[in-house]
Amino acid sequence: MCLDLDHFKTVNDVHGHQVGDQVLKQVASTMEENLRPSDLLARVGGEEFQVLLPDTDIEQAGEIAERIRSTLYDLEIRLNDKVVKITVSVGFAQTGRDGEDIDSLMRIGDQRLYEAKALGRNRWVTG
């Protein structure tokens, strides 16, 4: 899964980079709480994350993505006197169906992530 926080630049612009850093930490922690022990979450830059879901079919991946999406949508991140709300867009790629090597899977997952954003954000796209 390729995940990108929606409109995160606005968080930094409105609340400052220190608040943005705290939001990223809370989001990462919340995502990790919604993953299985075998899943691997990584921040790949800025507000972008990737999750490897071993031994997972596309239906199971959709369930995990929806759990993350809905949990982040409902989350109110409170920092001092500020409340920050976050949504996430997600794109998937599946070994076999979409490619065998990590570069192909990352490229296709990223394309689908941007499709999710083009469709209005706060959603996931499997292809």
Please determine, for residue 79, whether its predicted confidence score (pLDDT) is greater than 90. no
Please determine, for residue 81, whether its predicted confidence score (pLDDT) is greater than 90. no
Q: Give, in words, the CATH class of 2-125.
A: alpha beta
Dist. CA 54–CA 40, nearest whole Å: 9
Domain residue spans in the chain? 2-125
List the catalytic residues: 47
Evaluate whether 5 touches 86 at the Cβ level (below 8 Å): yes
What is the model's pLDDT at position 4?
Answer: 98
Q: Which amino acid is at 99?
A: G
Please determine, for residue 80, whether its predicted confidence score (pLDDT) is greater than 90. no
3-state secondary structure 30-99: HHHHCCCCCCEEEEEECCEEEEECCCCCHHHHHHHHHHHHHHHHHCEEEECCEEEECCEEEECCCCCCCC
